[in-house]
Amino acid sequence: MELDDYSLYGDLSDEELIQLTIERSLAEEHFESSHQPPPPPPPDVPTAPSPSPSLAQDDITEIESMIHRGDKEALLVFVKEHPDSSRAINGEGWTSLHEAAYFGQLGCLKILIEMFPDMVNRCSPRNQTALLLAAYRGHPCCVEYLLDHGANPNMANKERESPLFKACERGSERMVELLLRSGASVNHLNDQGATAFQEATRHDHLKICEMLLRAGANLCTTNLYGVQPIFTAAQSGSVNVLNFLLSKDVNVNKQARDGATPLYEACKNGYIAAVETLLSHHADANVPTKSGLLPLHAATRKSHVQIVSMLLPLTRKDGVASSGLSPLHLAAEQNRDDLLELLIGAGYDVNSQLSQDRCQLYEDRRTTALYFSVDNNNLEACEMLLEAGADPNLDFFNPLLMAIRKGAVELVALLLRYGANVNAQISTHRLSFPSAIQLGMDYIPLLKLLLDHGCHARGCFHCDYGSKTHPHFDPLWQRQELRYRTPSPTAHCVQFCEALSCYSTCTPGPIISLLLDYVGHVKLCSRLLELLDGCCDETLIRSKAVPPRPLMQLCRLRIREILGAEQLNSLDTLPIPPRLQRFLWYRVEYPSESNMASVSASDSWSFEDYSSYSQLSDDQLLQLAIERSLTDNPSLPANQSQPGTQSSAPTGQPGRPSTGPNRANPPTSQNRDHNAHYSSHNPPVEKPPDPKSFDGTISHFVTGQGQRMMAYRRTDGVLVHVCPEPEEEDGPLFTAIRRGDVRQLRTLVSQQHSLMSSRPGWMAVHDAAWYGQEGCLNILLTAEPGMINKRTGAEQTALHLAVSSVHVGCARLLLERGADPELMNKDRETPLYKACETENAEMVALLLNHGVSVNTHCIQGWTALQEAVSRNDVEICEMLVKAGARLTPSNVYGISPLFTAAQSGNVATLRFLLKHGADVDSQAADGATALYEATKNGHQDIVELLLSQKADANKANKRGLLALHTAAQRGDSTLVSMLIPATSTARVRRCGISPLHLAAEHNMDDVLELLIRADFDVNAQLSLENSKMYEDRRTTALYFSVANNNVEAVRMLLEAGADPNLDIFNPLLVATRLGCIQTVTMLIRHGAHVNAYLPTHPTTFPATVLFAMKYLTMLKFILDNGCDALACFSCTHGSGPHPPLKLNRFQRDELRYTESSMSDSADNHSVQFCEMVSIPSMCQWAGPIIDVLLNYVGQVRLCSRLQEHLDSFPDWHAIKDKATAPRPLMQLCRLEVRRLVGAQRLKRLGSLPLPGSLLRFLQHQEGCTDFY
């Protein structure tokens, strides 16, 4: 379309402008731009009349109607009666001859030529002749007749396109032959400098190209862009023409004005056959474009794997290096692991860095392929690059920091394993502690991983203010920010206490507690103490910082310091005992915030008071720590135990159950050469020095576990050996018991004065019961009946031990001799409970026959019945119920036996309990029912059984969730199908959360479809308390699906009637921010508010523009659909000076709800478009953004700041001129038509009964712009 000067039409009214626009669009319908794909050629015979292109049938004149119908007789009569009317032009400047040629009505054409031969070369306002229209529409018969009657074959339209050009576009060999025979100029240039030969090349019409060449066509004609026919053939994949041109010795490496070669263009567009053809004719794969890119770059960027494989052997690596961009960068950026593997295998440098001008295109100044892969969270790609030798410490911002920011634990571990600097700093943000701690402080497992690998924790406790009052601290940046801000770091050095108070979203207690485990003596500053106020474990955490620190803690720190961060990363490869490795790795389970009290060292390490060793040197402390680690060396002989410990299992009974006296610590069997005593000890790993002959000092100390130890030192103070104090050896009494030697035991018993005394609390009667020596047990009880109910250190009686080790005979003997079956161990477990634990029905029956209580609760509140149910032992359950066991006891968590059966998936015991009347709807302390728990654990058979027993699916837990909710969250479509008929939709509405929300949140599309079919409300909104759990205060299932970029789920919800405008932050803004054009299209088509604003961040222009500014195609799309572009040019400062930018609080991609932001939004300064486009991350895109916006506004005046941006680059001067008044007429007409159509109808413009040309005109498609 021509964009005329509006001043020529200044006197026209709005209605006249609109009429003129529509008429011009209709003219374009008659003559479409050559940029559109050609329609299929019609047959050579006259075609049937096409519908009139006019908007209304009333606009068609009588003679036009005759021509459209092909009514030759009526036309002949009309022409004879009204010769003047037959020569008249219509509103578009067309004569009746133009109409006949356009619609291919040969009969009508002949009548008109015979009557008016002088009209044959009459032109329309766009210089269109009847011949050109017939050629464009593909009517060879009409073309032939016109040429035979004097039509000029070289008359071109306003675009300087001749009939021959249009015939080549159409691909009609007959028309081309007719035109050439009639003298058509074969090398005529259109206004783009293209010839008919280039047009035939573009459409791969080989025969036409041969005809044109015979007629004298120039094979090397260059258009305005420096493009020759060979370039056009490669660009469009015209292989036939390409082979033809190469056979004519055309320059295969001819470059366009931007430096691109035919090979580059074929690689870019993925035409494999064209690439093969060019390479076979020795096309140079090392010719760069003006931007320095090679064909390999283009193929990699477009992910054409086969083409990359062809180019790799032909591309010189020095040429790639000089481009400032490696194909590895492009493959990594686009997550193409197959290409990455190809390039690495070809030997491309994995440490190549982006050039300075290219890295400045990214906010974080990234330079390596590894950084791209880390940013994409692509673990496999990172592993490939690192294994190939990628250096993880080359980028401006260390890739490790990016991985930490994303919370990618596996990726962090991988980078650390390959030498990433765990103490790397963000150079633009001054910190007194490692940046890794700042970025990872809210994720305790990740923070521990960093500290384990040598991250310096001590800097976190260095504070300039100490115990003094700290001044107020305002955040200088976003905590997760990795953006190049200024060449030099900020002046203020942020301390850990400041960062923890401003940047952390977690309770500070666990963070401080963890850091204290990695430092020696430190003092908490006043701010950290304030942060600890109110923490549930405040006292414990504070006590960890009070000196002196435990000895082993200081030893560990010293060893880690000596090893260094690099060796810590490869600790598992060092020749160090496993126990020492575990010690150095802090193999301690760190609890959640609610259970900080359980943070402790490994159970096998005792953290004694350091004051006991204050006289030891660092070397002595190290030696002591290493020796202690060796006491758990797994390489010891199988018949030896570790020093200072006691085995939890006797070796004499390999087949005994695992539930043996693990709390009683029974003694181990000893080498038979040793003398036996009442209590046994474990032999040391290496023999200690003889205390009587040792030349030095011997000191005694007690570990934190109460074990007595001895330390041997030379006279110069050097530590020689540390071992447990020697204990008395087991006597012959225990040896006889373990052998079952009744005769020797009877002899020994008659000689012993007491059978009760034993240092570890383990008596002879316990030994006999544990090993099942019934004869020995009888002798011992006869000799001293009072031992029968004596307890071990774990408060176990002989009956407990006999039951636990499943010795029915011993248990029967003990019961007959008067053992008390009601006595409990330290966990309040009775012998009956232990019998149920071992699943021994005979033992249970024995105990029940002796009147044991069946409803006793252990320390966790469990009864014997619950233990039997958890083991799914129906036989024992029957015995217990017959003995009076209650079916509804609950433990400390309110869990009943029925709940336990459902939770464990034990169908047999569940049926038994239901048969005996257990309450199917009983609830635990958290409100969960058995049905809910079975659903949560995916037990389909349990759910089916419970539903058959009328379990209530509408009972909610204390969080308000039903069984259907947890099934939807799991994505179990089978369970959802079972629960839907049993669940009340009214009850779901009262929950404040719909199963649709959970299915959408977890991308469970199958479940989502089931729920939609079941008529669950797709517009259900989260309750206020549930919505507050999300920073963006989302409320609808649609928002979840949009945020997950789940196009299929969005489609289902919208088709089911989901309203896209219910959330505080419009889902359209989320989709725009994610750059998902499919989601945006669907949302707009279903009525999403295209001019949505951010309620928490007031702007003077739509927020959709804010989020689409970096995606120009997206920006154009939302503008096409009615987004208000005019608001972007409204500036309160106009042409005057603008104040400095104050956008520190405003993040372009932020969708976060805060109470303060909502309450103060009305008072806050509304950000203007000129301010937003001036931030560092956007200013480089200012020109293209303004250029697109100007296409959607009329007369506007650019403010001084926008003009400054456009003046900053010479290439943007044309954009500035574009805003200069007056704007073109057609632009203003288009805007007025769009205004009258309205935003709602613009969204479904394609469905309106409008001509295609008018649709393209209204959608700014008459001249497509490629933003690539």
Rounded to 10°, the helix 618-630/551-569 angle is 80
Dist CA 496 CA 457 (whole Å): 10
Question: Letter for the amino acid at 828?
Answer: R
User: What's the average model confidence in pLDDT over 91-110?
Assistant: 87
d(Cα 1087, Cα 1058) in Å, to the nearest integer? Answer: 10
Distance CA(186)–CA(215), nearest Å, equals: 7
pLDDT, position 445: 84
Q: Which residue has the tokens 């969005």?
A: 1050
- Higher pLDDT residue, 894 or 904? 904
pLDDT at 30: 40
Determine the Cα–Cα distance for residues 92 and 298; give it in Å rounded to an integer. Answer: 45
Q: What is the pLDDT of residue 1176?
A: 78
User: Does residue 679 surpass a pLDDT of 70?
Assistant: no
In this predicted structure, the answer to whether residue 397 has a pLDDT above a threshold of 90 is: no
What is the C-alpha to C-alpha distance for residues 1095 and 1107, in angstroms, rounded to an integer? 14
| pLDDT range class, residue 762, cuts 50, 70, 90 | confident
Band of residue 732 on the pLDDT scale cut at 50, 70, 90: confident
Closest C-alpha among 544, 424, 555 to residue 482: 424
pLDDT band at 752 (very low <50, low <70, confident <90, very high): low
Is residue 1062 over pLDDT 50? yes
Please state, in angstroms and as integers, the Cα–Cα distance from residue 253 to each residue in 66, 264, 277, 288, 1184, following that order. Answer: 55, 10, 13, 11, 32
Weakest mean pLDDT among 114-123, 682-691, 797-806: 682-691
Who has greater pLDDT, 1146 or 536? 536
Closest alpha carbon to 63 in 20, 17, 111, 30: 111
Lowest mean pLDDT across 369-378, 849-858, 887-896, 978-987? 887-896
Q: Pick the residue with more confidence: 469 or 1263?
A: 469
Lowest mean pLDDT among 107-111, 264-268, 603-607, 1207-1211: 603-607
Report residue 499's pLDDT band, with 50, 70 and 90 as the boundaries: confident
pLDDT of 3 reads 39
Q: State yes or no: pLDDT of 147 exceeds 70.
A: yes
pLDDT at 161: 92
Structure-block tokens of residue 279: 């390479």
- The partner residues of 711 in beta bridges, in order of sequence, read 699, 722
pLDDT reported for residue 1055: 93
Mean pLDDT confidence for 97-110:
90
Residue 1034: what pLDDT?
92
Q: Which domains does the chain show, CATH number per domain?
A: 33-218 (1.25.40.20), 397-597 (no CATH), 727-820 (1.25.40.20), 822-921 (1.25.40.20)
- pLDDT tens-place string over residues 284-328: 999 999 989 999 999 999 989 999 999 999 999 888 988 889 999
Ordered DSSP codes for 125-158: TT---HHHHHHHHT-HHHHHHHHHTT--TT---T
Q: What is the largest CA-CA distance in the chain?
A: 151
Note the pLDDT of residue 505.
Answer: 61
Mean pLDDT in residue range 181-194: 90
Query: Would you state the pLDDT for residue 357?
Result: 87
User: What is the arithmetic mean of pLDDT over 763-774?
Assistant: 87
pLDDT of residue 372: 93
pLDDT single digits (tens) 205-254: 999 999 999 999 998 888 888 899 999 999 999 999 999 999 988 999 99
Higher pLDDT, 602 or 28: 28
Cα–Cα dist 572/559, whole Å: 15
Strand order in the sheet with 719-724: 697-702, 708-713, 719-724
Measure CA 534 to chain center: 35
Cβ count near 1212 (within 10 Å): 18
Gap between the Cα atoms of 377 and 380, Å rounded: 9
Q: Which residue has the higher pLDDT, 27 or 118?
A: 118
**% of the chain exceeding 70 in pLDDT:** 78
Highest mean pLDDT among 162-166, 404-408, 635-639: 162-166
Average pLDDT, the chain: 79
% of the chain with per-residue pLDDT over 90: 29
- Position 1148 pLDDT exceeds 70: no
Note the pLDDT of residue 14. Answer: 54
Model confidence pLDDT, tens digit, residues 923-953: 888 889 999 999 999 999 999 999 999 999 9
Q: Would you state the torsion angle of the CA atoms of residues 748, 754, 755, 761, taken in this order, to the nearest 10 degrees?
A: -140
Please list the residues that pair with 923 across neighbouring strands: 929
Alpha carbon distance 755, 786 (integer Å): 10
* Residue 604 DSSP label: T
Which of 831-835, 891-895, 958-962 is predicted most confidently? 831-835
Q: Which residues contact 604 (CB under 8 A, 6 or more apart)?
A: 579, 632, 645
Q: 823-832, 1044-1053, 1126-1135 — which one is most confidently predicted on average? A: 1044-1053
pLDDT for 1052 beyond 90 = yes
- What pLDDT shows up at residue 1252? 72
Residue 281 has pLDDT above 80, yes or no: yes
Q: Among 12-16, 230-234, 400-404, name the one with the lowest average pLDDT.
A: 12-16
Least confident of 765-774, 871-880, 1258-1267: 1258-1267
Please provide the distance, in angstroms rounded to a whole number, between the alpha carbons at the two ends of the chain.
23
Q: Is-contact 995 965, C-beta < 8 A?
A: yes
Quote the pLDDT of residue 59. Answer: 61
pLDDT in the model for residue 459 = 86
Of residues 892 and 799, which shows the higher confidence score?
799
pLDDT band at 38 (very low <50, low <70, confident <90, very high): very low
Could you tell me how far CA 52 lies from the centroid of its own chain?
Answer: 53
What is the average pLDDT across 90-107? Answer: 86
Between 204 and 584, whose confidence is greater?
204
Residue 990 confidence class, pLDDT cut points 50, 70, 90: confident
The pLDDT of 980-992, averaged and rounded, is: 88
Q: Please state the rounded mean pLDDT for residues 557-563.
A: 76
> Measuring CA to CA, how many Å separate 1013 from each of 139, 1006, 1010, 1054, 1056?
54, 11, 5, 13, 9
Residue 1260, token pair as written in the block: 């700014």
